[in-house]
Each structure stands twice: as C-alpha cells, then as structure tokens.
C-alpha cells in the first residue's frame, strides 16, 4: 500500500503548519510521556524513595529513542497504550524498568501531556495571532485617511475609511488574544493524583507521609513548568478545562469568519481583494474569475472549529463520577483537529493580511455615486446659509433626489443629482460650493483619529508584549 491508497488528513496535506502538526504528533506525545516519567522518578528520589541517579540518567539518555513498532506490538498484546509504552521505554532502560510509572495511573502521562501540548499550542496560536494583528496594523495605518462607503444592512451608509474598517477587524482579534492570554495563564496541571485522584498509591509509597505526597505533586508540576495545579481531580482532570481552552479557538474562529466574509463582500464590490497569484486560476470554465478562495477557506475552517468546539461541552457534561472512558476517542479528535484547524486559519490570515489589494479608484467611484444623496442635508443647510428658505430647499432637493433615484434604478443611468442641484436657479449654490460640500473627507468624522488612537492605546502594547522573533510566512497549500 502506497501513500495514495490510504486516507491522509487534509490538515497534514493542505492546511496546517509543521509546527502545529508536530505538537500533536506521536513523537511529541510519547517523548513527553517519558519526560513525565523522569520528572516523577526524580521527584520520588528527592523525597526519599529507593531510586538511583543511574536509573534516572538511563531514562534521560533514551527520551528520543522510541521504537514505535515495538510499542505497537505491545499495545496489541496488552490492549493498553500506556503499558505498551512503559514496556517500550523499559526495553531501552532495563535498570530503570522497575521504577518507571511508579505509583502512577495512565492519566498521569495522558492527561498531563494533553495539558502540556494544549499550552504550547496556545502559545503558537498567540504568536501567529499577534503577527496577523501586526499585518492589519500596517494596513490600517496606510489607509486610515482613505474614505470608503460604509454599509449597514449591506446598504450604503455614512462614510468610514478603509483603515477604520480594518480597526474593527483588529478589535475582534484583540479580544480573542485577550481571552487566549487569560486562559493560557490559568491552565492548571493535573499533577500527581493517583488512580481516582485520592493519591492513595503515593501515600502508600511514602508510608502515610502526607507532606511528602503534597511535595511530590508540587515537584513534578514545577519540573514540567506549571505553577498552577488542580487541587482536586478524579482519575482525570476536569474536562471543563478543555472546553474553556477550545472556546478561545471558537471565539477566534468567529472573528476570522467575519473578517473573511467582509473580504469576500469587498471582492465582489471590487474595492479590496485578497492576494491573487500571477498564474492562479479562479475557475476552470470562466477564465476571468478571481475567486476569493483564501477567504472562503477561512470561512470553511472557521465553521469547522465552531462546530467542533461543542464536543468539549458534551464530553465534560457526560463524565460520570471520577471518570469514564467515553471521553478518550472524542478528545483525540476534537482537541487536536480544532487546534490544527485554528492554525490553518491563522496561516491563511497571515497570507491574506500581508497582501490585501485596495482599488482606490473603485472606492472613489462608489462614493461619488452614493454621496450626493447622503449630502442632501448638508446642501440644504448651506443653502440656508446663503439666505434660502429651509422648507423650500427641502422640497427642491426632495424632488431632484426622487428624479435622480428613478434615473438610476429604472433607467440604469448615472447619478445626476448634483447637476440638477447646480442647474436649479432656486438653489443658491454654484459648482464650487457643491464640490466643497461633497469632499469625502468631510464625511468621515474621526475615523482616522480613532484608528490611530486605537492602535496606539490597545494594539501596540499587545504586539510589544507578545511578538516573537519568528517570521511567519502564511504559506497556503492549494
């Protein structure tokens, strides 16, 4: 059987980065198990158990030396993955074999490894999300003064700027980043809790010395990089921690979907487009097509994340007493694939936000088509300033607006409202007056200032705090 005769997850083939794929790889999982067994043995030795430094050194020298085929054979024999890897580790560490996994239950390596992986995966998500914010910051500052037609209900509304709209996208991602930082800082380690969470096996090992058992829990957790540890657990840590962490990814997916939808709509309007490569084909039939495939993929994967996140709520809600095993198969899928999908979305966002294309003349043309209607109140007020009667001006402008609207909608012609206004002897404004009134920058309010203030006050501090030196390219595999 070759590689094309079996299913391969699209996350590996198309979507996710090597960094995130590694975090959920067998190598990462089982080397972490071995590091946990070493931390346990070291801590037990420090607290007085009969474990030698030679045994620990032997274990440390074989962390990466995993015979996966032998482990598979052992799992078929024992029908138990943890015991299979205990024997696999013991095969290369014969002197340490008697003390590997001493006093522990399967959840010691399984649960603690899941927590370690999710913590590191959140750190990768955080770094990439900061890079996305940095891309959007550059874009927002570049276009902070460029007027653009705003939309409410996807109908023309007051003007905004292209940069201010990007600030709205940034604000969503900023809130996601804040949630991520909070949950990351509050991740708790399962620690050393024993078979049903009572630490009975360890109490037995330490001859009923409760203080040593407490110290064992702290020592192992500290060696694995955790200050916060669950005070109580069943056999497993509460699965509520999973749902809290995955909720961060679902919230990010909401924001990503909204951003990508806006880009798709703007692409239809021909105002802003995602990057489009020189030889990229939009349609096999329609050669002119420039489909927003990156943004569409963001939406597709974001929906997957939002849907998949519900698994964690169901899993926690149906755990019986100290644990049931119906969480295991579900968590193998829901946690890994949700992180892989989030990583894939981030790769797409990095690509899109680093190469957004703005068509300023199309944006200006759309403003020129819609602004005359929006400026009618300003025209009335200016006419009054020139001595005209407000009610008479309102009626004249109303009549001209209706006729111009009819011309646009029924006849498919351009908007001639301004020509009508200038030609009307009853309206005391000339062409220069109208041009001054219709300067688009007079209709954008504080949009440029808001954009700059928002970036300086809220975005810059986050970027400064969490930016890494790694260069994320945002590679898109089609």
**Token digits for 328?**
């295991």
Percent of the chain with pLDDT over 70: 97
State how far the Cα of 101 lies from the Cα of 421, in Å rounded to an integer: 87
**Token digits for 34?**
């071995």
Which one, of 228, 151, 243, 191, lies nearest residue 43 by Cα?
191
State how far the Cα of 475 lies from the Cα of 178, in Å rounded to an integer: 26
3-state secondary structure of 272: strand
CA 203 to the chain's CA centroid: 43
Residues facing residue 155 across a β-bridge: 152
Residue 151, C-beta contacts closer than 8 angstroms, at least 6 positions apart: 157
Mean pLDDT by 10 residues, the chain (478 residues): 81 94 97 98 98 98 96 94 96 97 97 98 98 98 97 93 98 98 98 96 97 98 97 97 98 98 97 75 48 95 97 95 93 96 97 96 93 85 92 92 89 87 91 87 95 98 92 76
State how far the Cα of 378 lies from the Cα of 388, in Å rounded to an integer: 13
**The predicted structure's pLDDT at residue 366:** 94
- Say what the alpha-carbon torsion angle 392, 395, 400, 406 is, to the nearest 10 degrees: -170
Compute the radius of gyration of the chain from its Cα atoms.
Answer: 31
Residues facing residue 303 across a β-bridge: none
Burial string for 158-195 (b: 16+ CB within 10 Å, else e) reads ebbbbbbbbbebbebbbebbebbbebbeebbbbbbbbb
CB 167 within 8 A of CB 140: yes
**The predicted structure's pLDDT at residue 224:** 98
- Say what the alpha-carbon torsion angle 434, 439, 445, 450 is, to the nearest 10 degrees: 180
How far, in Å, are 376, 378, 437, 442 from residue 382 at the CA level?
Answer: 10, 6, 8, 14
State how far the Cα of 471 lies from the Cα of 224, in Å rounded to an integer: 27
Residue 321, C-beta contacts closer than 8 angstroms, at least 6 positions apart: 234
- Catalytic residue ranges: 153, 283
* Tens digit of each residue's pLDDT (9 = 90 or more) over 412-455: 888 888 889 999 989 999 888 888 888 999 899 999 999 999 99
State how far the Cα of 324 lies from the Cα of 317, in Å rounded to an integer: 11
**The predicted structure's pLDDT at residue 417:** 87
**The predicted structure's pLDDT at residue 285:** 44
Question: What domains sit in the chain, N to C, each tagged with a CATH number?
Answer: 21-99 (1.10.275.10), 111-278+289-359+457-466 (1.20.200.10), 376-437 (1.10.40.30)
- Helix, strand, coil abundance in the chain, percent, nearest 5: 65, 5, 30
Residue 227, C-beta contacts closer than 8 angstroms, at least 6 positions apart: 221
Residue 238 DSSP code = -
State how far the Cα of 254 lies from the Cα of 342, in Å rounded to an integer: 11
């Amino acid at each position: 059987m070759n590689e094309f005769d079996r299913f391969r997850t699209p996350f590996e083939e198309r979507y996710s980065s090597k960094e995130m794929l590694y975090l959920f790889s067998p190598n990462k999982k089982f080397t972490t198990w071995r590091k946990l067994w070493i931390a346990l043995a070291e801590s037990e030795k420090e607290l007085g158990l009969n474990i030698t430094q030679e045994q620990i050194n032997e274990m440390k020298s074989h962390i990466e030396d995993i015979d996966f085929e032998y482990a598979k054979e052992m799992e078929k024999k024992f029908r138990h993955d943890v015991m299979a890897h205990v024997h696999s580790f013991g095969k290369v560490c014969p002197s340490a074999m008697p003390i590997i996994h001493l006093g522990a239950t399967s959840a010691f390596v399984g649960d603690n490894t899941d927590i370690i992986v999710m913590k590191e995966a959140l750190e990768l998500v955080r770094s990439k999300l900061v890079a996305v914010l940095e891309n959007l910051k550059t874009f927002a500052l570049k276009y902070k003064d460029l007027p653009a037609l705003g939309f409410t209900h996807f109908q023309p509304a007051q003007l905004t700027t292209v940069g201010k709209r990007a600030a709205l996208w940034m604000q969503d991602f900023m809130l996601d980043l804040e949630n991520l930082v909070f949950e990351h800082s509050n991740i708790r380690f399962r620690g050393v809790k024993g078979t049903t969470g009572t630490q009975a096996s360890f109490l037995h090992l330490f001859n009923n010395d409760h203080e040593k058992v407490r110290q064992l829990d702290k020592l192992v957790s500290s060696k694995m990089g955790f200050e916060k540890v669950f005070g109580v657990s069943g056999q497993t840590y509460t699965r509520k921690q999973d749902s809290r962490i995955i909720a961060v990814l679902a919230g990010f997916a909401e924001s990503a979907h909204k951003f990508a939808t806006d880009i798709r709509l703007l692409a239809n309007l021909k105002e802003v487009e995602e990057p489009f490569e020189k030889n990229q084909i939009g349609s096999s039939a329609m050669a002119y097509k420039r489909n927003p495939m990156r943004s569409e993929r963001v939406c597709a994967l974001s929906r997957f994340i939002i849907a998949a996140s519900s698994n964690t709520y169901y899993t926690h809600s149906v755990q019986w007493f100290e644990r049931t095993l119906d969480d295991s198969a579900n968590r193998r899928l829901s946690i890994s694939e949700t992180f892989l999908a989030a990583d894939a979305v981030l790769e797409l966002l990095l690509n899109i936000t680093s190469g957004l294309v703005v068509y300023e003349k199309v944006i200006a043309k759309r403003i020129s088509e819609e602004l005359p209607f929006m400026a009618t109140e300003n025209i009335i007020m200016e006419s009054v300033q020139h001595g005209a009667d407000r009610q008479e001006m309102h009626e004249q402008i109303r009549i001209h607006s209706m006729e111009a609207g009819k011309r646009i909608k029924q006849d498919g012609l351009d908007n001639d409202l301004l020509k009508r206004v200038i030609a009307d002897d009853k309206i005391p404004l000339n062409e220069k007056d109208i041009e001054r009134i219709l300067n688009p920058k007079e209709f954008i309010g504080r949009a440029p200032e808001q954009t700059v203030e928002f970036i300086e006050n809220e975005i810059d501090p986050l970027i400064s705090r969490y930016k890494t030196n790694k260069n994320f390219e945002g590679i898109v595999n089609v």
